Amino acid sequence: MNHKIFRVRSFRLVAPYTLAVTFDDGLEQVIDFSPILAGELFGPLRDEQLFNQVRLDPEAHTLVWPNGADFDPETLHDWPQMLPLLIQQVQRWKLAA
pTM as predicted: 0.91
* In contact, 28 and 43? CB cutoff 8 Å: no
Task: Look up the CATH number of domain 8-96.
Answer: 3.30.2020
CA 73 → CA 7, 8, 43, 91, 96, distances in Å?
Answer: 6, 6, 20, 23, 27
Q: For residues 31 and 91, what is the distance between their CA atoms, to the nearest angstrom?
A: 19
Tens digit of pLDDT at every position of the chain (97 positions): 566 889 999 999 999 999 999 999 999 999 999 999 998 999 999 999 999 999 999 999 999 999 999 999 999 999 999 999 999 988 887 777 6
